[in-house]
């Protein structure tokens, strides 16, 4: 199969000679195995040569334009393909200007060329279209690919603009809402201290409790998102197991899931632990909450801590058995027996306890003993 490259192709210095470029393009197009494989990929995928010129563009490109890609992009460089506003800043074209020194799209290719290994970068590209500039965030990956004795590169392009914008909005939202919720909590505590004798104590207690729960829930969601995105930074400090347990119990005992139920701390031996208190607290609160939700009115939930070699183990017990169906899915994200849009509690226990606290989370459940959830963590957590 013979493919003719565009007649107006840029032939500036630093690019492959036209006859050789034409030969490489025809080589690729004749191999239906390669073209079919590239066309099957759901993201825009280019096959480029060592001069960073496009030899093939897969069918995912057609979702963005009405023309066949070979009539438009063969022989171009990625910046010219994107429509980058800076691709003409240098006489040598895309990848050669001062601006290009800081471009992830160029850096990924050059790193893959130098290392002979796959390289992935984020690229913030300003696209010029109809005399208007648009800012786009791409994730680009370049991977070496040898074929017929020549070195090529597979180059994938993913538009992550929505993800980046969402992250920024999430950060702004969490900052503002936590600030307002904390102000509500402070106002309730101030009212309790100054007006407690004049206002019904029950109402003040309710306002204070709701303020604490709002702050806790918002903080929990922010921590979860940071942990899932590998953005959470450990803050290791020393704390006593007794204090950690007591504060976790205090945090959950006024929650509506604890109504009519009792929480008992079993054993009073105290152990000093160096760990991330915030994450440990989230795990223990979720363990308690899960046990309370799985209990009936007047039931008792028990929490304890005991040593195990270089580790300490926290356990939470309630007397009801977990069903077989739930046992098989309990740590899956979004699985819940309590309806849709729930189910992150047990998932987050596993995420925080194992990925960040270097521990292990598991459970045991049967009709005779009820259900135990365990968290085993090292007494001394090391900073990664």
- Tokens 């600030």 identify what position? 179
With a cut of 90, say whether residue 331 has pLDDT above it. Answer: no
- Tokens 């800043």 identify what position? 89
Helix or strand run (H / E) with residue 323? none
**What are the backbone angles phi and psi of residue 350, rounded to the nearest 5°?**
-65, -45
pLDDT, tens digit, 9 for 90 and up, residues 35-75: 999 989 989 999 999 999 999 988 887 665 445 555 568 88
Question: Which CATH fold would you assign to the domain 18-159?
Answer: Beta-Lactamase (3.30.450)
Helix (H, G, I), strand (E, B) or coil at 350: helix
Least Cα distance to 114 among 78, 85, 151 occurs for 151
Share above pLDDT 90 across residues of the chain, in percent, rounded to a whole number: 37
Are 304 and 264 contacting, i.e. CB atoms less than 8 angstroms apart? Answer: no
Query: What average pLDDT does the segment 113-137 reach?
Result: 85
CB atoms < 10 A from the CB of 181, how many? 20
Using pLDDT thresholds of 50, 70 and 90, give the confidence band for residue 339.
very low
With a cut of 70, say whether residue 87 has pLDDT above it. Answer: yes
Query: What average pLDDT does the segment 313-320 reach?
Result: 95
What is the model's pLDDT at position 12? 66
Q: Look at 187 and 309; give whichever has higher pLDDT.
A: 309
pLDDT, tens digit, 9 for 90 and up, residues 250-269: 888 877 888 899 999 987 78
The structural domains of the chain, with segments of one domain joined by +, span: 18-159, 161-232, 234-384
Pick the CATH number of 234-384 from 3.30.110.30, 3.40.50.300, 3.30.710.10, 3.30.565.10: 3.30.565.10
Least Cα distance to 319 among 376, 246, 261 occurs for 261
What is the model's pLDDT at position 110? 92
């Amino acid at each position: 199969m013979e493919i003719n490259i565009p007649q107006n192709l840029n032939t500036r210095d630093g690019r492959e000679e036209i006859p050789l470029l034409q030969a490489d393009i025809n080589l690729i197009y004749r191999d239906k195995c390669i073209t079919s494989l590239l066309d099957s990929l759901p993201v825009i995928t280019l096959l480029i040569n060592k001069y960073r010129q496009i030899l093939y563009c897969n069918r995912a490109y057609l979702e963005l334009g009405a023309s066949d890609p070979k009539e438009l992009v063969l022989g171009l460089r990625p910046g010219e393909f994107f429509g980058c506003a800076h691709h003409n800043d240098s006489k040598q074209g895309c990848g050669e200007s001062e601006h290009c020194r800081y471009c992830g799209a160029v850096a990924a290719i050059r790193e893959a060329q130098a290392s002979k290994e796959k390289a992935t970068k984020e690229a913030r590209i300003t696209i010029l279209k109809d005399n208007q500039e648009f800012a786009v965030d791409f994730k680009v990956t370049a991977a070496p690919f040898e074929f017929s004795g020549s070195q090529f590169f597979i180059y994938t392009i993913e538009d992550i603009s929505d993800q980046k914008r969402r992250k920024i909005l999430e950060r702004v939202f969490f900052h503002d809402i936590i600030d307002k919720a904390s102000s509500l909590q402070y106002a309730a505590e101030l009212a309790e201290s100054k007006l407690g004798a004049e206002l019904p104590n029950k109402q003040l207690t309710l306002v204070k409790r709701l303020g604490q729960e709002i702050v806790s829930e918002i903080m929990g969601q922010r921590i979860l998102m940071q942990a899932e995105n590998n953005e959470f930074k450990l803050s290791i400090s020393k704390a006593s197991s007794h204090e950690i347990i007591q504060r976790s119990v205090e945090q959950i005992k006024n929650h509506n899931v604890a109504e009519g139920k009792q929480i008992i701390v079993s054993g009073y031996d105290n152990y000093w632990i160096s760990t991330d208190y915030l994450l440990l607290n989230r795990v223990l609160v979720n363990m308690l909450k899960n046990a309370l939700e799985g209990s009936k009115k007047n039931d008792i939930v028990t929490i304890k801590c005991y040593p195990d070699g270089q580790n300490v183990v926290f356990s939470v017990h309630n007397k009801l058995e977990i069903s077989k169906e739930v046992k098989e899915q309990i740590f899956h994200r979004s699985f819940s027996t309590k309806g849709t849009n729930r189910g992150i509690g047990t998932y987050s226990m596993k995420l925080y306890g194992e990925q960040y606290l270097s521990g292990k989370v598991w459970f045991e459940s049967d009709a005779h003993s009820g259900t135990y959830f365990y968290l085993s963590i090292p007494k001394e957590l090391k900073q990664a």
